[in-house]
Structure 1
Amino acid sequence: MLAAALGSSRAIAFVEGDMSLPPPSVVGSPLELRLADAERASAEASLAIELTANRLDPAVGLGVRHIRETGDIGLVGGVSIPLPVFDRNRGGISAARAALEGAEARRAGAEIAADARARNARGAVDANLRRVEALEQSAIPEAAEALRLAELSYREGRATLLELLDTQESYTAARAALTDARLALALAQAELARAVATGDTES
């Protein structure tokens, strides 16, 4: 799971070092919102085209006319204005307006979903970070100290082998819990990065 989150084609056998990294700081709109904005812009452009088609544009004509009877040549001109009585492109305008309203509604929905996803991701990062800190600062040191005392008591004959094995098992379980917590933190940070990703590429 960690390899997939990091985009690695090789399995990750172990992780070491400081895993309590702050979440990435990415400024900009999530990719889903940028796509929704592009769809809305396209719908706005389509509506503008339909409104333009509804405009009554006059046409001006100019030409030369030869009069056979007199042999004269005259310059003639004319102006024509289209008068669409029954069709003012109302259907196209209505469809374009409906498409724009749909694009705006989808954009609003994408904004709500993106905000919820980012909030959930940040909450998961915070929760897993607190879990890692608690294990590193409290549970692991306490388990290590308990194991040290158990080994000392066993060497001095004041503890049984079973008691020593139980303490060792508790310490191993605490280390495993820390590994799981670090993995969960890394995955939560990867999800947060995806939630706020802008889709831009940087070198």
Structure 2
Amino acid sequence: MRGRATTATDTTVTRGTRGTEMTTGRPHRGRRAMFAALAAALTLVPASWAHGETLTWAQVKARAAARSPTAVEAKQGARAARAEAAGAGRWPRTNPVLTGGVNLGAPFGHPEDRAFSVGIEQELDVFGVAGTAARASQQKVAVAELEGAVLKLDGLAEAAEAYIELERAQRVLAVWTELDRGFERIAAGTAAASRAGERSDLDAILASAESAGATTELAGARAELARAQARLGVLIAAADPSSLRVAEEPVRPPDARGRDVLVAAALRRRPEVGLWRARLGEAEARRAFAARAALPEPTLGLGVEMEREGTDAAPASPDGASGARHERTQLQITLSVPLPFFDRNQAERARALADASSAGEQGAIAARQISAAVTRAKAAVDASWTALARWQAIAPRLDEAQAMVEKGYAAGQVDLFDTLASAERVARARVQILEARAAYLKARAALSRALGEEP
């Protein structure tokens, strides 16, 4: 508000003064006010909206490795596999069975016949099924850990891209914020000059239109900033994503190694290569377990049977006894063996064999995919570095262009609207420099992911 009042006051002059300005070449006070506003618009200054904690990439990386959705998913998968492996390989694999029975004799036998039996049965592991199950479970743990390593790299690559996007959005917003402020002050000054009769109403309308265009660009930059903050906030579990700010990371030159060297390094480091090997081993372990589990496992039983028999009374018994009872107790040992005629785990063995074949094929495909990913990422890094180097060479000239615009406008050699157009071109050039910088940093992050390295 203070800038607007000053501009309105300084632009109230007489027609005689305007003639003196053009004759002497000294800038008028109203032109000096708009000149100062234009200089502020063309100068890249951090925006006043900045607040909250400023995070470095090291801090974001540490938080993403612990809190991102992919990191949590990786931990859950490994934890579930270890829990399953903790119970595998334990013997006995099945619970013992308690057996018992009572034979009352009636109605087909003697009414006083009685038989009682009690015992326990246990399935025996004579073919090493428990040990085979333990090896299969350990292979599952290895697969889960490698899957977690892949998810971790994916999560860090996504966090790096979100970090770069937020850094770019912050700096783009600073460019459009300062340009919008300058254009707003210039539009206010032009409107005041129009009311004083120094400029036409058309100039005031067009200046307001230029200011509205800068405000539109500013609104778009704010929306991009909010999207970038929300994306990074999810990845690092930020309590208030709207307060997130990130520090500017230095730009390092690209990796000087050739394509073949990079591909060889990627094939050594990428966890996907080991993952398919582990999946192949896990499928073969499951197939071995299914084959062992199809073998008949005997069941051994141990019990005691007590039997009591009653007899009819003897009619010729001299002492008149009605009969006698016979009791006996005997130890029982049983052994049962199932006959594998029908169920031989055919489906599980066939599934494991198919999984092993698929893992072997996918391992060969993964090697080709890694080679292609490295080639593509290396080309993107080289191309984006060339573009960024070109923009970096132009960046100092933008300062010269800014000085030329200021000097020409102050001397009355450049029209107001040509000055505004030049100021907008300078701002857009600065934004394009930021876009080229972000593209190069993203390409470097993609190459790190292709090499199996943390960005």
TM-score (norm 1): 0.63
1:106 aligns with 2:147: yes
- What pairs up with 1:1-203 in 2 under 5 angstroms? 19-22=49-52, 27=63, 28-53=66-91, 84-136=125-177, 138-197=178-237
Alignment CA distance shift 1:182-1:172 (3 Å): same
In the alignment, the residues of structure 1 paired with residue 238 and residue 69 of structure 2 have an alpha-carbon distance, to the nearest angstrom, of 5
2:398 maps to what in 1?
Answer: none
Alpha-carbon shift at residue 95 of structure 1 (Å): 2.8
In the alignment, the residues of structure 2 paired with residue 53 and residue 160 of structure 1 have an alpha-carbon distance, to the nearest angstrom, of 97
Alignment CA distance shift 1:90-1:24 (3 Å): farther
**Are the aligned partners of 2:173 and 2:222 in contact in 1 as well (CA < 8 Å)?**
yes
The secondary structure found in structure 1 opposite 2:88 is helix
For residues 155-174 of structure 1, give each alpha carbon's deviation from its aligned partner in whole angstroms, at most 9, with x where no partner exists. Answer: 34443333322211110111
In the alignment, the residues of structure 2 paired with residue 53 and residue 116 of structure 1 have an alpha-carbon distance, to the nearest angstrom, of 44
* Unpaired segments ≥5 residues, structure 2: 1-47, 94-122, 240-455
Q: Percent identity?
A: 20
**Are the aligned partners of 1:31 and 1:198 in contact in 2 as well (CA < 8 Å)?**
no
In the alignment, the residues of structure 2 paired with residue 113 and residue 192 of structure 1 have an alpha-carbon distance, to the nearest angstrom, of 14
Alignment CA distance shift 1:104-1:84 (3 Å): same
**Are the aligned partners of 1:19 and 1:186 in contact in 2 as well (CA < 8 Å)?**
no
CA RMSD of aligned residues (A): 3.1
For residues 35-68 of structure 1, give each alpha carbon's deviation from its aligned partner in whole angstroms, at most 9, with x where no partner exists. Answer: 321221221222232233389xxxxxxxxxxxxx
Alignment CA distance shift 1:161-1:22 (3 Å): same
The secondary structure found in structure 1 opposite 2:90 is helix
For residues 1-39 of structure 1, give each alpha carbon's deviation from its aligned partner in whole angstroms, at most 9, with x where no partner exists. Answer: xxxxxxxxxxxxxxxxx7534468785432332232122
**Are the aligned partners of 1:36 and 1:107 in contact in 2 as well (CA < 8 Å)?**
yes
Relative contact order (alpha carbons < 8 A, sep ≥ 6): 1 or 2 greater?
1
Aligned length: 155
**Residue type at the aligned position of 2:170:** L
In the alignment, the residues of structure 1 paired with residue 153 and residue 209 of structure 2 have an alpha-carbon distance, to the nearest angstrom, of 46
In the alignment, the residues of structure 2 paired with residue 96 and residue 46 of structure 1 have an alpha-carbon distance, to the nearest angstrom, of 7
**Are the aligned partners of 1:147 and 1:164 in contact in 2 as well (CA < 8 Å)?**
yes
1:70 maps to what in 2?
Answer: none
**Residue type at the aligned position of 2:153:** I
Alignment CA distance shift 1:177-1:154 (3 Å): same
The secondary structure found in structure 1 opposite 2:67 is coil
In the alignment, the residues of structure 1 paired with residue 82 and residue 69 of structure 2 have an alpha-carbon distance, to the nearest angstrom, of 20
Larger radius of gyration: 2
* Unpaired segments ≥5 residues, structure 1: 1-17, 56-81
In the alignment, the residues of structure 1 paired with residue 52 and residue 92 of structure 2 have an alpha-carbon distance, to the nearest angstrom, of 56
Deviates more, 1:36-45 or 1:20-29: 20-29
**Residue type at the aligned position of 2:90:** T
Alignment CA distance shift 1:198-1:145 (3 Å): closer
In the alignment, the residues of structure 1 paired with residue 74 and residue 88 of structure 2 have an alpha-carbon distance, to the nearest angstrom, of 21
Deviates more, 1:184-193 or 1:24-33: 24-33
TM-score (norm 2): 0.30
